[in-house]
């Protein structure tokens, strides 16, 4: 094995942090953030305008984005319907950035994460993250974690720009970007469908059974409760 590729939610980080802290944090501050930062949100505004032109949201018909109110209306419609559109992800990232900067947010990681990162780094293993959260949000979480700045241990970050997490092709691309043969990578996730996609691409896989994770269901892959036991180095 030469590198580890880690999922975030349910793997390095409690699922509850994402759903009970991170997303509610962004939703609660969305209106105020948009109102007070409007003048520096040109790219976000353009992205929301473009998004509003192409989709229909049930129950909350989207509005053409002409100002603060219509942007906030659409953003909340995306949030409430759990539509992970890029413009919303960008806006959430900016809101989280402010929270991490002022210390009101800390990226939660399990207690064994930092010791494992240190151990793998000392062993000369490459460490990459692959999450459906944006690379920007991943860097914020690990850069401002409950265990301090962990980004020094991480060489590469991947989000759904590289492809969907349940698509084997994404894992082939990740291996190519890391410049390593696929069978030299270990992919760790809590979701069996992601493990299957990585396995199909020829990666080694492990399914995490972290506390707070739902039962992963039946599968034939190695399992681990944390990073302290094999197959983790």
Q: Which residues contact Mg ion (rule: CB under 5 A)?
A: 7, 9-10, 190
Residue among 99 and 133 whose Cβ is closer to Mg ion: 133
Q: How far is the CB of 5 from Mg ion (least distance, A)?
A: 12
The span from the CA of 23 to the CA of 20, in Å, is 7
Residue linked to tokens 């739902």 = 214
Residue among 93 and 216 whose Cβ is closer to Mg ion: 216
Q: How far is the CB of 52 from Mg ion (least distance, A)?
A: 30
Residue among 9 and 159 whose Cβ is closer to Mg ion: 9
Element (H, E) at 163: none
Q: Which residue is nearest to Mg ion (CB)?
A: 10
Residue among 10 and 99 whose Cβ is closer to Mg ion: 10
Estimate the crossing angle of helix 168-178 against helix 192-200, to 10 degrees. Answer: 60
Q: Are 158 and 135 in contact (CB under 8 A)?
A: yes
The span from the CA of 88 to the CA of 94, in Å, is 10
Backbone torsions φ then ψ of 179, nearest 5 degrees: 70, 30
Q: How far is the CB of 220 from Mg ion (least distance, A)?
A: 19
Q: How far is the CB of 2 from Mg ion (least distance, A)?
A: 23
Q: Are 126 and 4 in contact (CB under 8 A)?
A: yes
Residue among 29 and 209 whose Cβ is closer to Mg ion: 209
Q: How far is the CB of 131 from Mg ion (least distance, A)?
A: 7
Q: Are 154 and 187 in contact (CB under 8 A)?
A: no
Query: Strand, coil or helix: what is 203?
Result: coil
């Amino acid at each position: 094995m030469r590198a580890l590729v880690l999922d975030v939610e349910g793997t390095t980080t409690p699922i509850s942090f994402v759903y009970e802290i991170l997303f509610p944090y962004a939703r609660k501050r969305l209106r105020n953030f948009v109102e007070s930062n409007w003048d520096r949100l040109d790219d976000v505004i353009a992205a929301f305008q473009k998004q509003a032109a192409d989709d229909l949201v049930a129950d909350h018909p989207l509005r053409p984005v002409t100002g603060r109110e219509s942007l906030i209306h659409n953003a909340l419609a995306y949030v409430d319907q759990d539509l992970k559109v890029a413009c919303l992800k960008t806006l959430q990232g900016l809101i989280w950035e402010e929270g991490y900067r002022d210390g009101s947010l800390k990226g939660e990681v399990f207690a064994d994460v930092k010791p494992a990162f240190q151990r793998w780094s000392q062993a000369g293993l490459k460490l990459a993250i692959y999450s459906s959260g944006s690379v920007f949000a991943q860097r914020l979480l690990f850069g401002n974690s409950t265990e301090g700045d962990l980004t020094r241990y991480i060489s590469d970050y991947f989000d759904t720009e590289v492809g969907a997490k349940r698509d084997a092709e994404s894992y082939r691309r990740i291996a190519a970007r890391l410049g390593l043969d696929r069978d030299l990578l270990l992919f760790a996730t809590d979701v069996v469908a992601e493990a299957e996609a990585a396995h199909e691409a020829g990666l080694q896989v492990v399914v995490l059974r972290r506390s707070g994770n739902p039962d992963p269901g039946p599968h034939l892959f190695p399992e681990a409760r944390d990073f302290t036991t094999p197959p983790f180095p």
